[in-house]
Amino acid sequence: MALGFCQNQKVLINLKWVSPPNLFHGKYWGHIWPLSLAAEPGVWTRGRTEPDSEGARIVGGRDCRVGSRAYQVALLRNGRIYCGGSLIAPKWVLTAAHCRSQVSSLQVHLGDYNLRVKEGTEQIRRIRNFFVHPGYNLRRYDNDFMLLELDAPAQLNNYVNTIDLATSCPFPGTLCVVSGWGTIRSPQKVFPNTLRCADVYSISQARCQASYGNIITENMFCAGVEQGGIDSCQGDSGGPLVCNGQLQGVVSWGTSVCALRGRPGVYANVCKVAQWVRSTIGRKSQSKQWL
């Protein structure tokens, strides 16, 4: 969850993804999509030059209530947050396709809250297999979905539980909650120990396209707040955006400086992939090779 800052920094589109600190710089910038910047000159506009004109505006998320996000998954690499995800069935996690790099090395934490403390609620799994959406397009960030099959099913309880997929597409203005262990500052990187939550509102496709142009497809939607300052950010990728108790969005991308006014977060549109999710899980659950 990010706080909003806007200094003399170019605003770059970037996936809400983070690599380990020793690789951070190279891999982070390696995920910028230059063509999108060329196609969308507005994205290149520079931030305000007045010192602290935005830095004083400290707004952002909050600690989630313990146990309130039992579907939240942490994908860790070398003990650090890499991406988020959502438990949608005891053996299945829905996350973002752009989190797929070296996916087999990721550790899956269910029922976690403070990543630095062993709370006794955690269930740790490995990834047996992963399925990237067949329509995923890295250059356009389209269909940014990936299913992870866990090596063993989760034991469901008060701290670990599944969430239902959205049964309808987002209605503009709906209050939603996004959660994750991503950076709480932007463009600085400050990673919290505890799970953070933020309230954002779904935004119409017309307004989303007014912000980002025709990069926005029907498989994405925007969510944010009018004044900026509250947003998902690097490290939150793949995590849940939940509206009315259903998983409506997967944290996908935004400007590299998060939470800017007029630059809402972009989410993969879960209502468009319910059939793919059901068929993938159903097919693999029935196939003996996966038992």
Region binding Ca ion by CB under 5 A among candidate stretches 8-16, 29-37, 105-113, 162-170: 105-113
Q: Which is nearer to Ca ion, 195 or 270 (CB)?
A: 195
Asked if 270 and 166 touch (Cβ cutoff 8 Å), the reply is: yes
Q: Which residue, 114 or 205, has its beta carbon nearer to Ca ion?
A: 114
Instruction: Give the range of 2-10, 108-116, 140-148, 257-265 binding Ca ion by CB under 5 A.
Output: 108-116
The only residue of 52, 119, 164, 218 in contact with Ca ion, by rule CB under 5 A:
119
HEC readout, 4-17: CCCCCCECCEEECC
64: contact with Ca ion by CB under 5 A: no
CB 84 within 8 A of CB 181: yes
> What are the two backbone dihedrals, phi and then psi, of residue 25, each rounded to the nearest 5 degrees?
-65, -50
Rounded Cα gap, residues 61 and 291, in angstroms: 40
CA–CA gap between residue 276 and residue 280 (Å, rounded): 6
| Residues catalogued as catalytic | 98, 144, 237
Q: What is the DSSP letter of 66?
A: T
Is residue 108 near Ca ion by the rule CB under 5 A?
no
Q: Which is nearer to Ca ion, 112 or 231 (CB)?
A: 112
Is 112 a residue that touches Ca ion (CB under 5 A)? yes
Paired with 81 in beta bridges are: 76
Compare residues 35 and 124 and give the one whose CB is closer to Ca ion. Answer: 124
17-36 positions binding Ca ion, by CB under 5 A: none
What count of other Cβ atoms lies within 10 Å of the Cβ of residue 117?
A: 11
Among residue numbers 161 through 200, which ones bind Ca ion (CB under 5 A)? none
The residues that touch Ca ion, with contacts defined as CB under 5 A, are 112, 114, 117, 119
